[in-house]
């Protein structure tokens, strides 16, 4: 690829043409140049069209004008470097104006402090701009041995200030030219020691004020950022609280739905158990409309074809069994054994009602007391089945003429439901 610029091997600065390289060599005494495929940076301000050759120039332009949008036209302006230097015009070698003696004077590039020039070029300024700044700011010939050595420390700052104030000049990128016999005198500072001290004090004061203003600006920016972050945190906290409330409401809704489904499941299971008992007892299926009345039935509607007494005993039997399970809910095996024992008593009487041994139970029997007698509701359940205590309270006896098969069947159905229904006694 053809070279797009010339790079100084001593300081690394990129130059667009041989003329710029020659001017750079005259100003810095650098002579090591080589072709480079890297183009010279060309950043054009979108607002005013000002070209900048480095990021430092971009920063200075932004600070001075407030323009922050730049278009990178480096490749558009890049073109192959022409290594043949054109002949210098006569106007570059000789000034058109005559000297006081009537003779034309030779125009040359002014001499500047090489160390300062290298420093400015290291900051990104072109050779022409750095030379102009050092020449016209009056700091070109300062050195550590000069009487005004204090200015040597602040000279780069003074040159940069000059560039910031004159970067819009049309000839800012052209090398300055002065008569050959006056270049040294023009650059020599004409300041007394007192004026040097005053100038240094003024520059220090300006630098201090500028630093304080920058600190105040940064403090304002930090305060604005702190307020913005505080508002964002507050909004995030409010949003999190709202989301938490929504989550809690949704959780409660789901819990209620789960409880409703559980109740419906238990109710369905009870209905199925009830239908199964009716089927085993040979009763017709229950009418859904009659099973779930919309309103409490009137008193006169209690009359039905079935006897009221068995239905009442069924409710009381169920309460006895439920009480037995709730009072001993920690010992399911004990409750199950009690239900099985009661079912055996009732079943034996229903199968062989004529045998007295099945209709007579000794209350002091250890097995009976352990399985049924010691549980609340056990003896009451047998009494609901027709058993009665004798006068000495030693036996439970069911007279032959008081054996009611319907009551015994109801008792058997309630016991079977209590043993098979997993939700019995829960509600």
Based on the fold, state whether residues 245 and 334 are members of the same structural domain.
Answer: no
Give the number of domains in the chain.
3
CATH number of the domain encompassing residue 171? 1.10.8
Asked if the model's pLDDT at residue 196 lies above 90, the reply is: no
Confidence at residue 3, expressed as pLDDT on a 0 to 100 scale: 67
Domain that holds residue 313: 308-420
Q: What is the mean pLDDT of residues 342-361?
A: 88
- Flag whether 161 is in a domain: yes
Residues 376-385, mean pLDDT to the nearest whole number:
84
For 23-49, b/e burial (b = at least 16 CB within 10 A) is: bbbebbebeebeebeebbbbbbbeeee
The answer on 334 and 267 residing in a single domain is no
Residues 261 and 323 occupy one common structural domain: no
Q: Which of 287, 321, 338 is the last residue of a domain?
A: 287
Does one domain contain both 248 and 315?
no
- pLDDT for 198 equals 84
pTM score > 0.85 for this model? no
Give the residue, 238 or 60, on which the prediction is more confident.
238
What are the angstrom distances between the C-alpha of 217 and each of 21, 204, 285, 397? Answer: 41, 20, 90, 105
| Domain annotation covers residue 425 | no
Q: Say yes or no: 350 and 272 in one domain.
A: no
Which tens digit of pLDDT belongs to each residue from 232-287? 999 999 999 999 999 999 999 999 998 999 999 999 999 888 888 888 877 777 76
Question: Is 21 a domain residue?
Answer: no
73 or 234: which carries more pLDDT confidence?
Answer: 234
- Of the ranges 19-33, 76-90, 171-185, 351-365, which one carries the lowest mean pLDDT score? 76-90
Contact 131, 110 (CB under 8 A): yes
Looking at residue 306, its pLDDT comes to 47
362 within domain boundaries: yes
Q: What is d(CA 1, CA 341) in angstroms, rounded to the nearest whole number?
A: 107
Phi/psi at 174 (nearest 5 deg)?
A: -105, 145
In a domain, 381, yes or no: yes
Of 132, 164, 190, the one marking the end of a domain is 190
**Same domain (yes/no): 146, 238:** no
Assess if residue 28 is contained within a domain.
no
Pairwise pLDDT comparison (147 vs 106), residue with the higher score: 106
Same domain, 271 and 325: no
Tell me, yes or no, whether 48 lies in a domain: no
Q: How far apart are CA 79 and CA 2, in angstroms?
A: 9
Check whether residue 156 and residue 179 sit in a common domain. Answer: yes
Could you tell me if 327 and 368 lie in one domain?
A: yes
Are residues 214 and 186 located together in one domain of the fold? no
- Is 369 a member of any domain? yes
Q: Is 250 exposed, middle or buried (0-12, 13-18, 19+ CB in 10 A)?
A: exposed
Judgement on whether residues 279 and 313 belong to the same structural domain of the protein: no
Phi (first) and psi of residue 9, to 5 degrees: -75, -15
């Amino acid at each position: 690829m053809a070279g797009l610029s010339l790079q100084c091997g001593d300081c690394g600065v990129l130059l667009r043409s041989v003329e710029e390289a020659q001017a750079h060599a005259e100003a810095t005494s650098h002579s090591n140049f080589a072709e480079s495929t890297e183009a010279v940076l060309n950043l054009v301000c979108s607002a005013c069209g000002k070209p900048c050759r480095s990021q430092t120039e971009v920063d200075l332009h932004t600070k001075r004008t407030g323009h922050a949008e730049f278009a990178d036209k480096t490749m558009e302006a890049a073109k192959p470097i022409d290594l043949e230097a054109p002949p210098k015009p006569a106007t570059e070698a000789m000034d058109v104006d005559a000297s006081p003696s009537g003779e034309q004077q030779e125009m040359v590039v002014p001499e500047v402090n090489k160390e300062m020039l290298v420093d400015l070029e290291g900051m990104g300024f072109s050779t022409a701009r750095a030379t102009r700044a050092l020449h016209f700011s009056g700091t070109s010939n300062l050195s550590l041995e000069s009487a005004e050595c204090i200015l040597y420390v602040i000279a780069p700052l003074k040159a940069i200030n000059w560039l910031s104030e004159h970067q819009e000049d049309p000839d800012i990128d052209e090398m300055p030219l002065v008569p050959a016999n006056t270049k040294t005198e023009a650059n020599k500072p004409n300041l007394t020691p007192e004026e040097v001290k005053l100038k240094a004090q003024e520059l220090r004061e300006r630098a201090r004020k500028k630093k304080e203003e920058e600190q105040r600006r940064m403090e304002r920016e930090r305060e604005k950022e702190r307020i913005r972050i505080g508002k964002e945190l507050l909004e995030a906290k409010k949003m999190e609280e709202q989301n938490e409330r929504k989550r809690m409401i949704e959780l409660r809704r789901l819990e209620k739905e789960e409880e409703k489904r559980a109740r419906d499941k238990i109710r369905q299971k009870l209905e199925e158990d009830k239908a199964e008992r009716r089927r085993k007892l040979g009763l017709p299926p229950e009418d859904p409309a009659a099973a779930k009345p919309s309103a409490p039935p009137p008193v006169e509607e209690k009359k039905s074809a079935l006897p009221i007494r068995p239905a009442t005993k069924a409710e009381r039997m169920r309460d006895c069994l439920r009480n037995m399970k709730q009072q001993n809910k920690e010992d399911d095996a004990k409750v199950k054994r009690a239900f099985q024992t009661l079912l055996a008593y009732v079943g034996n009487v229903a199968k062989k009602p004529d045998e007295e041994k099945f209709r007579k139970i000794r209350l002091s029997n250890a097995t009976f007391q352990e399985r049924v007698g010691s549980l609340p509701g056990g003896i009451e359940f047998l009494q609901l089945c027709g058993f009665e205590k004798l006068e000495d309270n030693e036996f439970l006896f069911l007279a032959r003429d008081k054996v009611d098969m319907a009551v015994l069947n109801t008792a058997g159905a309630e016991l079977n439901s209590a043993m098979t229904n997993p939700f019995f006694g829960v509600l």
